[in-house]
Amino acid sequence: MKLHAVVLAAGKGTRMKSARPKVMHALGGRPMLAYVLDAVRQADAADVIVVTGPELCAEVEALGARPVVQEPRNGTGHAMQLALDALRDGGGEVLVVSADMPLVSPALLRAIREKRAAASAPLAMVTARVSLPTDFGRVVRENGRVVRIVENADASERERAIDEVNAAVYCFDSAALRESLRQLQPNNAQGELYLTDCVGAIAAAGGNIETLECGDPVEVIGINNRAELARAEGILRRRILERHMLAGVTIVDPASTYVDAGVRIGQDTVIEPQCHLRGTTLVGRGCTLGPGVMLENAVVGDAAHISHSVVRDSEIGAGATIGPFAHLRNGAVIEDRARVGNFVEVKKSRLGRGAKASHLAYLGDAEIGEEANIGAGTITCNFDGAKKNKTKIGKRASVGSNTSLVAPVELGDDALTGAGSVVTHDVAPGERVAGNPARPLPKKPAPDPR
């Protein structure tokens, strides 16, 4: 049967105390909603709908799902009525998941679908055993048969003593769901239409309700506040680090290492303490990172070594050495075997193969040739007060300490600047200049052939 997925994301999330919608708060560098969408797609959902408020439509579309706006927000039952009206094909199965459950696994979703199909039941739902007290809705049974779900706010003291709770993951036969939704009434403490009342309606009509107890209640944790967000982040982080370690990455101290879900790391890379790998970072094989490295949307080639440095939106070639205390940003490219040393900032610049900027330099909007050497204190003066200008430094050029290169300017291959030079005009290949402003130095006399 065709599987439709409905993700419920219209809750206001007031307990997060945030202007940002709850389901867009991030874990592992991604919004929690993205994890739920991944899970339902991996459970083979052909059509994914997210019921949400109008403020989230653009974000839902950016994540590849169809938004359905719930306004006014009259409860989860009302949300499902809107979702069913929006189904592209009214038949098949409907998988329902809450958007604030980022740890739910595709395996659990596939299992609940299989449970319903095996029994040809109108509904299968996930339950969990939890310690009391809890805010979860309780699963009420009679002679072992599920007869209804009662929300905590509406439960009696006897019902609140039940430790089997509703995990808010359902797989419905669409026809049974549609019929039960027609019967909903706002007869509850919230005055809303509850999706959970569909369970009672199906049971009252004689339908068999299958249940699947979740073996790991962590999977169905719902996030309602920032403390719960932090706990879920910790669980997800341990999962991510374990996946990398089992794939051949050495993580010296997992307790102080933070790796986002979208990061890829090659075998035999060693990550030392206090490292943060974020966004879409890609690290090659045999690298050494840390201690104290932050990479964000970075690409790092094989056998690179980076310590105590920050790299954002930049590329580092194979065998390159970065740090300590370097800062690469805004599209910096460090080619193979190049070195960027302590207290060097590289912005929107390319450092050629084997080139070196070993200490105390700012290289902005520059192109630096192979094997060039950039002396301490070098600055590319790229901003003229109105626009950024480019500096070009040729192959094997030697830039003396405390040189200021006033862009736009070009140093040719094998050119040299003396210490303290202020270069305001192009320097020809092989030419030697010094001074403020820099002027050509006398050529070395030819050696006496005698």
φ, ψ of residue 48 to 5 degrees: the values are -120, 120
Written as one letter, the residue type at 57 is C
Residue 61's contacts (CB-CB under 8 Å, 6 or more residues apart) are 67
pLDDT (0 to 100) of residue 431:
97
CA distances from 147 to 97, 141, 245 (A): 21, 5, 46
Pairing of β 138-142 and β 145-150: antiparallel
pLDDT (0 to 100) of residue 447:
72
Question: What is the three-class DSSP state of 73?
Answer: coil
Assigned token pair, 378:
């070098």
Q: What stretches of 162-311 show up as alpha helix (H) in DSSP?
A: 174-182, 197-204, 226-246
Delineate the domains of the chain, giving CATH numbers in brackets: 3-220 (3.90.550.10), 243-440 (2.160.10.10)
CA distances from 268 to 137, 285, 288, 289, 297 (A): 47, 6, 9, 11, 21
Contact of 126 with 167, CB cutoff 8 Å? yes
Burial annotation 1-13 (CB, 10 A radius, 16+ → b, else e): eebbbbbbbbbeb
Torsion, CA 155, CA 160, CA 165, CA 170, rounded to 10: -10
Q: pTM for this structure?
A: 0.90
Catalytic residues: 359
Output the furthest CA–CA distance in the chain (Å, rounded): 114
Assigned token pair, 431:
């030419």
Per cent of the chain over pLDDT 90 is: 90
pLDDT (0 to 100) of residue 446:
66
3-state helix, strand, coil in the chain (%, to 5): 25, 30, 45
DSSP string, 83-136: HHHH-SSS-SEEEEEETT-TT--HHHHHHHHHHHHHHT-SEEEEEEE-PSS-SS
CA-based R_g, the chain, Å: 31
CA distances from 63 to 32, 52, 127, 180 (A): 11, 13, 28, 30
Q: Rounded CA gap, 212 and 218, in Å?
A: 15
Give pLDDT < 70 ranges for the chain: 90, 446, 450
Centre a 10 Å sphere on the Cβ of residue 89 and count the other Cβ atoms it contains: 10
Assigned token pair, 220:
């169905």
- DSSP code of residue 421: -
- DSSP code of residue 308: S
CA distances from 53 to 50, 57, 59, 61, 97 (A): 10, 7, 11, 13, 17
Assigned token pair, 373:
């050497």
Q: Rounded CA gap, 450 and 445, in Å?
A: 14
